[in-house]
Amino acid sequence: MAVKHKGLGRGLDALIKDGSTAKQQATRKAAPAPDEATGGVLEVAVAKVVASPWQPRTVFDSSALSELVESVKVHGVLQPLLVREVGSKYELIAGERRLRAAQAALLKKVPVIVVEASDEKALEIALIENLQREDLNPIEEAEGYALLQKRFNLTQEKVAAQVGKARATVANALRLLELSEGVRKYVAEGLLSVGHAKVLLALDSEKEKEILARRSIKEGLSVRALEKIVRKLGNPPKKPRAEKSDLPGEYLQTLSNDLHQFFGTSVRINPSKTLTNGRKVKGSLEIDYHDNDELDRLLTIMGYTSEL
């Protein structure tokens, strides 16, 4: 039984319909009439299809593209490209891999569906198409949201509504762009996960982010292990308080030796200390004894007499 995938909140069909206008219908009538059996698909010269300035995808897997080229050589381009008319050319909206494969296979013509779309709609459709196919890496996805937001002055809520994502998803994606170019490259190449990237965002130092990113890759650190390291960096051990002993070192050693001789047992002196703020830290004097008889002897030396 076929399973129907929900995909994103707004599918390409809805977006294309949203971008369709009466002007578009007139444009289609002016264009070469397609065969009815093609369902509105035109065959246009490959040379007349130009790349889109709104293409969010920048990384293409070379091996996968090579396989597609071989398939196109045998079967042609089976799924039409989505384009819009710009002057005498057709600007690509969706289907760059198919176009690249057609060019590499030296095809003369490719099938296209012509829609009328504003710059905003063209970017929106390109994002949706790639997101539905899961073709974008996390950085490309974030850059697509950022371009949609900045180019058309949209809030995160509006961007999320446009692409059918939760606002938190868009917000979290945009945060990845706060990382340095080097760390973003690791994420784009799949060497670091989005989970690792989110942990690194908690650090203030760009240098520490870079160092820990490389360490995570080299040592294969899990997200949890990286979290522990970052927590330690965020809560460094407290520095010991600056303090000064109230007894000079040489005198302390001489006094310890003298008391050892005087009491006939081990004696330890922990001198009082003065902190930098003037506060005092108390000292202590420890005298060892082995049994009650030795305790009585020590008490007698100290001049203590029990009244019991």
Q: Which residues are catalytic?
A: 96
How far apart are the C-alpha atoms of 163 and 9, rounded to whole Å?
7
For residue 92, list its beta bridge partners.
83
- Are the CB atoms for 274 and 243 separated by under 8 Å? yes
Say if CB 80 and CB 94 are below 8 A apart: no
Phi-psi region of 81 (alpha: psi -120 to 50; beta: other; left: phi over 0): beta
Answer for the pair 171, 156: CB distance below 8 angstroms, yes or no.
yes
Torsion (CA) 71, 76, 79, 85 in degrees, nearest 10: 130
Indicate left, alpha or beta for 129 from its phi (over 0: left) and psi (-120 to 50: alpha). Answer: alpha
The upper half-sphere exposure of residue 44, i.e. CA atoms within 13 Å in the direction of its Cβ, equals 26
Residues 6+ apart with CB under 8 A from 205: none
How far apart CA 132 and CA 242 sit, in angstroms, is 61
Neighbouring C-beta atoms of residue 119, cutoff 10 Å? 13
Q: Return the closest-CA partner of residue 184 out of 169, 196, 168.
A: 196
Report the Cα–Cα distance between both ends of the chain, in Å, rounded: 99
- Beta-carbon contacts of 200 under 8 Å, excluding residues fewer than 6 positions away, are 179, 183, 209, 212, 213, 226, 230
